[in-house]
Structures are given as C-alpha cells and as structure tokens.
Amino acid sequence: MLNYKNPRFWVIVFSIIIASAVGISLLASSDNSNPGSPVKDGVDLSYEVNESEIANYLDYHTEGKWMYIAGLKVFDEFSSSNEGSVSLNTDENILTFSMTKATGSVTGALDGPGVYFRMDLDTNQIIDKKFSPAPNYKELGREEFSEHSEEIIQLTEERMLEIGKYFEELILKMERKEQIK
C-alpha cells in the first residue's frame, strides 16, 4: 500500500516529474534538421560529404577548422581503406595532416602504416613529419595480415606539399560552402 505521508515517496515522485520535464525540454529544443552536426546561433558548423570522388566520408567542422576523413580516394599511397584528419591552425597558418592506411586490425580498430606531417602554408615547407609502420601482425598472431607487417609509407617532401596544398584548397572550398563532388 502506498503511504502518501512518506517523504521518500514524494522525493521519488518529484524526481520523476523533474526528469521528465528536463527530457521533454531537451527534445523540444533540439535541432534535428542535421543530426550529428553542431549548430551555433543557427549556423551549421559542420560540412559533411558522403561517397564523393574525394573520399567515402568527409566531415569538416568550420569552428575548429578540422576534418575527419574515411576512405580517402585521391591519393593512392593510402589505398581506399584508411582513416585520418586534416586541421588548419589559422593563427600560425599551419596545416596538419594525419592518415592511417588500413592493413589489418589487432585491437578491433583500424591498424596500419601512418603518415603525419605539418606544413607551413606561408613558406610552403614541411616543418614536421613522421612515418609510422604497421604493426608486426605475425608477432601478434594475426597471420591473415602478415603480408603488411611493418609496412611503411614514406612520402617525399614534394608529395607532402602536394597533399597539403590539396587539403588547403579543399578546406577553402568548404569554408565558402562550395559543392564538393
């Protein structure tokens, strides 16, 4: 039997009412016109492209000037199964590129050789770079990926500059909200 004079009963009732009101309020005020995209003052801060000539998926965020990339297609060194990011630091005018080519998986996540570089857009010079090898799949008991063990992608300065310029232009197109194919 319910005891309406019990304070615990009323705490529970009021907690349920408050939680319901907050939930309804959040649902009513959410912007579902572009799910997953941040919105600030009514301005969409995300630019998504699916199944384009450039990549399977691009997600550019104008506020932080960074882009998530999956399935980059325009640079053969990374095959078509890859994942990475590009960001632009406008204060220093530096572009940062990072990409991992999928050659297998040890952890359940994408594993493979990685390329990282930072490019000074004022001088068109590479100021930092790192080429990381794929894991030694054979040592890790992943025989099915062993042909890619310790595979590494090494890019020339010219190739890194080409990739950097490509993404600088792509980011500028996205900033201007041009159509990306």
pLDDT tens track for 124-140: 999 999 999 999 988 88
Map out the domains of the chain as residue ranges: 1-30, 39-175
pTM score, two decimals?
0.72
CA distance 180 to 158: 25
Cβ proximity of 171 and 88 under 8 Å: yes
- Burial annotation 143-163 (CB, 10 A radius, 16+ → b, else e): eebeebbebebebeeebbbeb
Q: H-helix or E-strand containing 41?
A: none
Q: H-helix or E-strand containing 161?
A: helix 157-175
Q: Give 79's pLDDT tier (boundaries 50, 70, 90).
A: confident
